[in-house]
């Protein structure tokens, strides 16, 4: 160990497993978890209405436990960021534009949530 956590991206490092997970999620043909409207799974990846994989428990906050309303199961808490990135119960289908909107909200609340979640990031 001893590798910097900041340089470690569990989504990229487990590319093959992650691709399989996303393929599985797409095959479920869920409507958008964030706005509830159907997703056109045939749209190109950059299109605002295209499918995007969203994590219920953010990979950077893998110790949280949150409800996955799309699959009707609990997500987390996970032991590692890697587990959070690769768990079926932690992914939900969303529109690209809805996912972007959600990420922006999380970033604007970032400083506040850091104070609430009291936990050291590294052992």
Q: Residue numbers of the site for Zn ion (CB under 5 A)?
A: 32, 34-35, 95, 98
Rounded CA separation 11/111 (Å): 24
Residue 113: how many CB atoms within 10 A of its CB?
A: 12
Quick check: 41 and 53 in contact, CB under 8 A?
A: no
CB of 28 to Zn ion, least distance (A): 15
Q: Is the peptide bond before 32 cis (omega within 30 degrees of 0)?
A: no
Residue 58, token pair as written in the block = 């953010």
Of 25, 39, 34, nearest in space to 91 by CA: 25
Considering only the C-alpha atoms of the chain, give the largest distance between any 2 of them, rounded to a whole number of Å.
Answer: 44
CB of 42 to Zn ion, least distance (A): 16
Q: Which is closer to Zn ion, CB of 35 or CB of 106?
A: 35
CB of 51 to Zn ion, least distance (A): 10
CB of 36 to Zn ion, least distance (A): 7
């Amino acid at each position: 160990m001893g590798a910097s956590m900041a340089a470690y991206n569990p989504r990229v490092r487990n590319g093959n497993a992650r691709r399989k997970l996303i393929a599985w999620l797409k095959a479920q043909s869920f409507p958008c978890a964030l706005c509830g409207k159907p997703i056109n799974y045939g749209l190109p990846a950059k299109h605002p209405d295209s499918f995007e994989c969203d994590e219920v428990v953010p990979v950077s906050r893998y110790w949280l436990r949150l409800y996955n309303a799309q699959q009707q199961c609990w997500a987390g808490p996970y032991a590692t960021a890697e587990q959070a990135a690769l768990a079926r119960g932690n992914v939900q289908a969303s529109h690209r534009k809805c996912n972007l909107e959600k990420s922006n909200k999380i970033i604007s609340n970032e400083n506040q949530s850091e104070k609430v979640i009291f936990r050291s990031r590294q052992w």
